[in-house]
Amino acid sequence: MNIDYAQRIKRLPPYLFKEIDRMKDEVRARGVDIIDLGVGDPDLPTTDNVIDALTTAVRDPATHRYPSYSGMNLFREAAARWYKRRFDVDLDAATEVIALIGSKEGIANIPLAFIDPGDVLLHSSPCYPVYHSSTLFAGGQPYPMDLTARNDFLPDLGAVPQEILDRAKMMFVNYPNNPTAACCGLDFFREVAEFGRKNNIIVCHDAAYTEMYYDDFVPPSFLQVEGAKEVGVEFHSLSKTYNMTGWRLGFAVGHPEVIAGLGKVKSNIDSGAFNAIQIAGVEALAGDQSAVKEMQSIYRERRNILVQGLKELGLEVELPKATFYVWVKTPKSHDSASFAKLLLEKAGVVVTPGAGFGQAGEGYVRFALTVDKARIGDAAKRIKECMSA
CA end-to-end distance (rounded Å), the chain: 52
CB atoms within 10 A of CB 22: 10
Helix (H) or strand (E) holding 263, with range, is helix 256-269
**3-state class (DSSP) for residue 143:** strand
User: What is the rounded distance in angstroms from the CA atom of residue 194 to the CA atom of residue 25?
Assistant: 47
The per-residue pLDDT string of the chain (389 residues; one tens digit each, 9 = 90 and over) reads: 999 999 888 888 776 667 777 878 888 888 889 999 998 899 999 999 999 999 999 999 999 999 998 999 999 999 999 999 999 999 999 999 999 999 999 999 999 999 999 999 999 999 999 999 999 999 999 999 999 999 999 999 999 999 999 999 999 999 999 999 999 999 999 999 999 999 999 999 999 999 999 999 999 999 999 999 999 999 999 999 999 999 999 999 999 999 999 999 999 999 999 999 999 999 999 999 999 999 999 999 999 999 999 999 999 999 999 999 999 999 999 999 999 999 998 999 999 999 999 999 999 999 999 999 999 999 999 999 988 76
User: Taking the domains of the chain in order of start, what are their residue ranges?
Assistant: 7-45+291-388, 48-286
Asked if 329 and 317 touch (Cβ cutoff 8 Å), the reply is: yes
For domain 7-45+291-388, give its CATH number from 3.90.1150.10, 1.10.287.180, 3.10.129.10, 1.10.287.1080: 3.90.1150.10
Task: Give, as one character, the DSSP assignment of residue 213.
Answer: B
pLDDT tens digits, residue range 285-319? 999 999 999 999 999 999 999 999 999 999 999 99
Determine what percent of the chain is predicted with pLDDT higher than 90. Answer: 90
Helices vs strands, H then E, count in the chain: 14, 13
For domain 48-286, give its CATH number from 3.40.50.360, 3.60.15.10, 3.90.650.10, 3.40.640.10: 3.40.640.10
Global pTM value: 0.95
Q: How wide is the angle at C-alpha 11 spanned by C-alphas 10 and 14, nearest 5°? A: 80
